[in-house]
Each structure stands twice: as structure tokens, then as C-alpha cells.
Amino acid sequence: MRAMRLVAEGRPLRAEAVDLPPVPEHAAIVKVGAAGVCHSDLHLISGAYDLGDGRKLSTTAGGAVLPLTPGHEIAGTIESLGPGAGASGLREGDEVVVYPWIGCGQCRKCAAGRENQCEGAQRFLGFMRDGGYAERVVVPDVRYLVPAKGLTSPQAAPLGCAGITALSSVRRCELRPSDLVFLIGAGGVGSIAIQLAKKTTNARVAVADVDDAKLEHASGLGADYVFNTVKVEAKDVVAQVKRANDGRGADAVIDYVGTPRTASLGFRLLGHEGRLVEVGLVGGGMTLPLPMLPLLGAEVLGNFTGTLSQLAEMVDLARRGVIVPVVSRSYPLEDANAVLEQLEHGGIRGRAVLIP
């Protein structure tokens, strides 16, 4: 089958023919209908996360072996099931979205259903195992397939990362109605988070980005306040948020970018007992004005993707039309390198998907 593969860190992906193994006992082979292109793919390909102060964390240190097929936002149809997979109730031909954050299955986090925080040998599809930039993908157990009938593959694929990351990060804010949540970054994840915050929590939503078109889109999705942080200085953003929130800082901030500049803005925006949730992996370090943590009783937390049960919830929200999946455009699989380059330079609105 055709696949776009990472053969060396920092190099463009290469089109290759890959043989599929026989389907293991409880596994499934999914014919890929669409594969979302995510910022994390850029980190995987570059080979490192930037930890700040010149320090790097290898993205393949977790057990990736090259060559590797990236792609963790995968939707399609079940092509074949392993001999032990029949009891799942799923059938060949079913439309599914794949949960890619597959853990070791044995550690405490996996046992608690939080495989995205697996402490053992992670098997994340598109990172440690071959992913969806291919005609087919092997999913090691059918339980990682969520039925997605009623959604097209381009609509369903981004739910596996962008969708559950939005859901999980909004949940971690523990918003109450009339709270003000400030979202930094109106890209693929932020666009879903705006809708979730508005429709599932009734909070007021402020959004910052550096692109007016993305902010206009954010307003269309229900954002109450938008800020272009190229045009408005941080201190003015802070002042306007306070004005909008009865003199208080934001009740929660979610940073979908993850740079020193966005994280510092996020921290400055917090009110008493405010929560800053770091999600984006663009990278760098952060200096905190330490007395403000105790004085505000503030919290800084991190969120990495979401759980299998959250994927089922997201699929349900999308099928019922509560959340409109945000897909910008579909491209042929072989255009993967060009799409990744556009994403790196901020040229993708919503989510781009590859169609094998």
C-alpha cells in the first residue's frame, strides 16, 4: 500500500510502498478515509520539542523506530478484523474513527482509562506505531475504534486529536456559567474549544490569535471577545478582560500555542484561583512571577490530548450537531509535505486532512 513515511528526522516525508502484516488476534485493519494534519506531526518530523534554554526533548525517545508513518487523526472504514475481534459488535465496512493514544495497557494510567498519560511503553499511532498517512492502518485492538456513522471521514478524523484535546482541556478548566475563559490560538483545536465552552458550559469566551481571518471565524463560532495580539499590547488585553469580567482576571486560560509569549500572557490574565492550562507544544521556557502563584491561588496545568471515552463523547457531540467539525480543505496523500509546510507557516485555517 502507499504511505508517506518519515525516514530521517528533519527530512521531508517520502512516498513508499509498505507491506501490511496479517491482522493480529484482536486487531483491525482500517482503510483510511482521511488523516488530519496536526501540529504534533511537525514536532515528530523535526525530531525534538524545544524545552527552552537550548534544551531539547527527542520526539522519538519514547520508542519510535524509523521509518515511521505519521498521522494520528484517522477515520475510515474497517477493512478486516482479527479472528478474536468479532465479539466487539463491529463489522467489516463499519465507519469508524480511531483512538490513536494507545498505551501499554498495564500501567496505573492505562488501568484508569487515561492511556494518553501512559507511564509504560506507549503505542501511540503515528508516533510509535505506523499511523494514518497511508492507505491502511493497523489498530492493535478493536476497542480503539469508535463508530462514526453519519460523519464523513474528513469530519471525523480530527476528533481523534484536535477534538478530544479541546474537550479535555475545556473540562480541566471546570468552568461555571458566566465564567470567563480566555483561549489563546484559534486554529484546529481552538475552533472546537470555542464551541465546547459556549455550548457545554455557558461560559463567556475570549479568543486571541495573530490572524484576523481566524478571529473572524472565531466570532462566527460564538466567541464573545476577540483580540489580535499583534495589534493589541498584552497590558491592554489584560485591561480589557478585566473590564469585561467585573474587574477580575480570567477564570481560566487555555494556551493552544505554547510559547513563552503566549504562556506569559496567559498567566498575566489569570484572576484569583484562575487556572492556566498549557496545551500547545510549540515550545520554549517560561518565567513565572512566583509570588503571584500563592497570592492568586492560581494553578498551572498541562493537558495532552484526551481519553478513549472522551473520543466517544466528541463523536456523539459532532453527530448531534452540537459541535461543527472544522475542516478547512482536503488534499491528496502525496501532498503531505506541502500541507505540513503550510501548517508550519500558519497558512491552514481549521484542519487540513489528507485523503489517500
What's CA 53's distance to the chain center, in Å? 26
> Considering only residues 152-191, where is the footprint of Zn ion by CB under 5 A?
161
Decide: is 42 part of the binding site for Zn ion (CB under 5 A): no
Pick from 125, 88, 123, 82: which is nearest to 103 by CA?
123
Decide: is 110 part of the binding site for Zn ion (CB under 5 A): yes
- The nearest distance, CB 106 to Zn ion, in angstroms, is 6
- The nearest distance, CB 161 to Zn ion, in angstroms, is 3
Residue 113's CB is within 10 A of a number of other CB atoms, namely: 12
List b or e across 293-305, with b for residues whose CB sees 16 or more CB atoms inside 10 angstroms: eeeeebebeebeb
> Considering only residues 119-138, where is the footprint of Zn ion by CB under 5 A?
120
Among 33, 103, 132, 163, binds Zn ion (CB under 5 A): 103
> Based on CB atoms, which residue is closest to Zn ion, 157 or 207?
157
> Based on CB atoms, which residue is closest to Zn ion, 104 or 232?
104
- The nearest distance, CB 259 to Zn ion, in angstroms, is 17
Pick from 151, 195, 163, 196: which is nearest to 308 by CA?
163
> Based on CB atoms, which residue is closest to Zn ion, 248 or 304?
304
- The nearest distance, CB 17 to Zn ion, in angstroms, is 26
| Contact status, residue 70 vs residue 151, Cβ threshold 8 Å | no
String of contacts with Zn ion for each residue 231-250, x by CB under 5 A: --------------------
Cα-based angle 261, 264, 270 (whole degrees, multiple of 5):
140
Query: How far apart are alpha carbons 310 and 172 in whole angstroms?
Result: 13
> Based on CB atoms, which residue is closest to Zn ion, 120 or 147?
120
Decide: is 312 part of the binding site for Zn ion (CB under 5 A): no
> Based on CB atoms, which residue is closest to Zn ion, 110 or 180?
110
Omega before residue 154 within 30° of 0, cis: no
Which DSSP helix (H) or strand (E) runs through 43? Answer: helix 39-46
Query: How far apart are alpha carbons 187 and 198 in whole angstroms?
Result: 17
Interface region with Zn ion, contact rule CB under 5 A, candidates 37-45, 51-59, 190-198, 230-238: 37-45
Helix (H, G, I), strand (E, B) or coil at 167: helix
Decide: is 328 part of the binding site for Zn ion (CB under 5 A): no
Among 4, 28, 35, 40, binds Zn ion (CB under 5 A): 40
Among 1, 20, 48, 104, binds Zn ion (CB under 5 A): 104
Q: How far is CA 307 from CA 5, 11, 205, 310, 330, in A?
A: 26, 31, 24, 5, 26
Pick from 154, 167, 141: which is nearest to 73 by CA?
154
306: CB partners within 8 A, 6+ apart? 101, 116, 163, 164, 165, 167, 168, 314
> Based on CB atoms, which residue is closest to Zn ion, 121 or 213?
121
- The nearest distance, CB 41 to Zn ion, in angstroms, is 7
Among 18, 42, 107, 210, binds Zn ion (CB under 5 A): 107
Q: What is the residue whose three cell numbers read 492502518?
A: 137
> Based on CB atoms, which residue is closest to Zn ion, 162 or 194?
162
> Based on CB atoms, which residue is closest to Zn ion, 62 or 222?
62
| Contact status, residue 73 vs residue 38, Cβ threshold 8 Å | yes
- The nearest distance, CB 165 to Zn ion, in angstroms, is 7
How many residues bind to Zn ion according to rule CB under 5 A? 9
Interface region with Zn ion, contact rule CB under 5 A, candidates 49-57, 86-94, 114-122, 306-314: 114-122
Residues in touch with Zn ion (CB under 5 A): 38, 40, 103-104, 107, 110, 118, 120, 161
